[in-house]
Structure formats: C-alpha cells, structure tokens
Structure 1
Amino acid sequence: MNTTLLLASTSVYRRELLQRLRLPFGCERPQVDETPQVGEAPQALARRLAASKAAEVAARHPGVWVIGSDQVAELNGQPLGKPGTVEAACAQLAAMSGQEVRFHTALSLQRDNICLAACDLTTVRFRQLDAEAIGRYVQAEQPLDCAGSFKCEGLGIALFEAIDNQDPTALIGLPLIALCRLLRQAGFSVP
C-alpha cells in the first residue's frame, strides 16, 4: 500500500501537530478560495474548506493520501476569520469577552476518489476581558494568523474560563484523535 502522505497546508501549527504522529509527510499549499458562501453555516464552511483543500492537492498528486483541515470560529452563529491585524484581533477578543465561542475543526483525508471526513467541535468560554488585558495579550503573542485571535497552547489559555472538547489538539487546528482514526481507516499504522 502507498503510504505517501501530504498535508494540504503550510500552517506551522498543523505541521507541528502532525509531526507528533511520527509518520513521514510533506506539506503543500492548497490553492483554494476561502470566502464563505452566502448563508453558509460555520460548520459547513469548515467542512467545505477542509475537503476543498485536500481535493485540490490530491488532484495534483494521484495515489497520495492528502490531509485537508480547516477551522472556523463561530460567535452567535456568525463565522470569525483570522484577524490579520492587531486592531481586528483586539476587536474579535472584545466581542468574545464573556461569551461562548464554538470552534469547528474539520478534517478531510483524500486519495483519488476516496474521501474520509470528520469534524470536531470545541466550545470555549471566555472570561470577561478589558481593553488593557486584550492589548497586553495581543502584543505579547501576536495571534494574527489564528481563528479567534488567540493561541490556546500559549498565553491565550489565560483568556478562558473553560474549554469543552473531546480532543485538545482540535483547538490548535488539527484534531489528532479524529485524524488517527481516519488514517487507520486508510491503512496507516498509527502508532
């Protein structure tokens, strides 16, 4: 069986998580438009983008298993993207202050016409945050490339009252428990 594996992402966070499984893999940037469709629910957006990323890279590499993943934060039914700027990160964190935010982290494992998929849900309850705490956090960690404007594996953990999930790696961007299940279904030996 061909055990070649590609991660359809150049995210350092996803790459570091996948390295934990000790499987050889490569990384390739998918060429996918990430614009939400009109009326698209956050979970549907995460699933579509994960599948699109895997499919786009898999089409260029027949016979190779490709992992696509995407995460969409949801506040009051609306998707939150990556902030990109300090101002947008501060605004996102201010909006999430004292709120519950849902994070949908979708996976798609594809090869040729085979597609295996999963989606993890993580609920984060933010503590009340004032502008000074938000400013200090954003300056310290610069979470501009993270959905929700925080890094839970770092100082961002101080922003929360609670995290509810089944897989602690999902909030970082790649749910390894679900990924291991999909990889075993595809014939990989993990561990």
Structure 2
Amino acid sequence: MSERLILASRSAARRAMLAGAGVPFEAEDAGVDEPAIKAAFASEDPGALAVELAKAKALAVSARRPGAWVLGSDQTLAFDGGLISKAPSLEAARNRLRVMRGREHQLHSGVALARDGQVVWSGVDTARMAMRDFSDAFLDVYLAAEGEPVLASVGAYRLEGMGSQLFDRVEGDYFTVLGMPLWPVLAELRRVGVLEI
C-alpha cells in the first residue's frame, strides 16, 4: 500500500469488511453530530442523506489527518414513507421489529472518500429487504440471543448473525446490507492508489 487509509467509523461490520478484503487501514471515530446533520438536511431522499452523513464523517477525520485518504460510510433505513433511526433500547427494537415484520424496507449505504478536507468521490447503493412474518416467540428468542449489539444497527439486526432469520428475501448486495458498498469502494481505492491495481 503506497497511500494511508483511515476508516472514519466505529462500525465493527465496516472494519471487518475492509480487513476481510485485505485492505490495510486505521480506524478513527469521526465524532460527527448525526442528528444535527439529519435535521439540517433539506432533501427527503434517504440515499442522498446516507451520502451526506458519509461525507460529513470523511471530512471530519480528513480535517484532522492531512495527507491521508479517509473513507466515510453511513446507512439510512427507509420504511413506510419515513426514515428509521437506531433503536435506543431493546424494547424499542422489539416494537420496531414487530411493526416491520411481514413488510419491506430499503437500506441505503452511502460512502465518501476524502483527502485534505475535500471529498473526491462518493456513492450510494440500495438493498431491498423483505422481512418474514415471524412470531413474537421467535422475536423474543432473537433479541435474547443477540442482545444489546443489535442497537448498533439501524434496523436492529445483523444479517451476518441470527438476524438473517428475520428475512424472506433480500434484493441487493450483501456488503451494502452490512453497511458499505464494498465493490465500488475497492475500485476507487485502486483508482487513487491506496490499493495495488
């Protein structure tokens, strides 16, 4: 690797994706005020909001780390005509999953690459998620098994874990569901020289 890469994220899934793909990187929490960014965002497009959040993260870390490539990523969940935020408690997650069961929602994973305080590339990918009509008994077992880590996910599920059992169908890229459109990211990292061609 000829260029330094910093992932502007606390997400374990995003870190695991890059590490699994053999991408050398450091990770740093961006420390952005996501609720304030969401409140100030003028568009109702959930995909555009995911990109805006990703840009804010990349730029925040880029301002502190001159000369490094900084990758920001974020995800929005669109359901029933609105946006869903992370559940603050397991009880809130239980209530949300009850409302979402048997219905579809969309996950939008936005990504941005910045250097020296400038965004040089950004993009978004969307996955369509169809939850099955699971029982309350299964929901109890699921939440007991997964516990508080589900609160770190906007949908209160991890597809790479027991959360896969919540779904009938997923249309879209697996990595997008996990929180970052990995294939376009890898292509861009090769283009800018972070990864070998």
Q: TM-score, normalised by structure 1?
A: 0.93
- Map Cα deviations across residues 121-168 of structure 1 (whole Å, 9 max, x no partner): 000000112322212111111211111111101111111110000x21
Match for residue 194 of structure 2 among 178, 188, 191: 188
Q: Give the conservation status (yes or no) of the 8 Å contact 2:2–2:193.
A: no
Give the 3-state SS of the residue equivalent to 1:144 in structure 2: helix
Q: Which amino acid aligns with 2:166?
A: L
The structure with more helix, counted as a fraction of residues? 2
* 1:95 shift after superposition: 1.3
Q: Which amino acid aligns with 1:172?
A: L
Matches within 5 A, 1:54-69: 54-69=58-73
Residue equivalent to 1:137: 142
Matched, 1:158 2:165: yes
* 1:114 shift after superposition: 4.3
Matched, 1:37 2:42: no
For 2:112 and 2:11, the matched residues in 1 are separated by 16
- Map Cα deviations across residues 88-147 of structure 1 (whole Å, 9 max, x no partner): 111111111111110000000111234201101000000112322212111111211111
Q: TM-score, normalised by structure 2?
A: 0.90
Number of equivalent positions: 190
Matched, 1:86 2:90: yes
Q: Give the conservation status (yes or no) of the 8 Å contact 2:106–2:127.
A: yes
For 1:146 and 1:80, the matched residues in 2 are separated by 11
Give the 3-state SS of the residue equivalent to 2:39 in structure 1: coil
Residue equivalent to 1:148: 155
For 1:190 and 1:93, the matched residues in 2 are separated by 42
Identify unmatched segments of 5+ residues in structure 1.
none
Matched, 1:52 2:56: yes
For 1:114 and 1:90, the matched residues in 2 are separated by 38
Q: Give the conservation status (yes or no) of the 8 Å contact 1:8–1:68.
A: yes
Q: Give the conservation status (yes or no) of the 8 Å contact 1:31–1:53.
A: yes
For 1:150 and 1:24, the matched residues in 2 are separated by 27
Q: Give the conservation status (yes or no) of the 8 Å contact 1:180–1:190.
A: no
Moved more, 13-22 or 99-108: 13-22
Matched, 1:120 2:128: no
Matched, 1:74 2:74: no
Identify unmatched segments of 5+ residues in structure 2.
none
Q: Which amino acid aligns with 1:75?
A: F
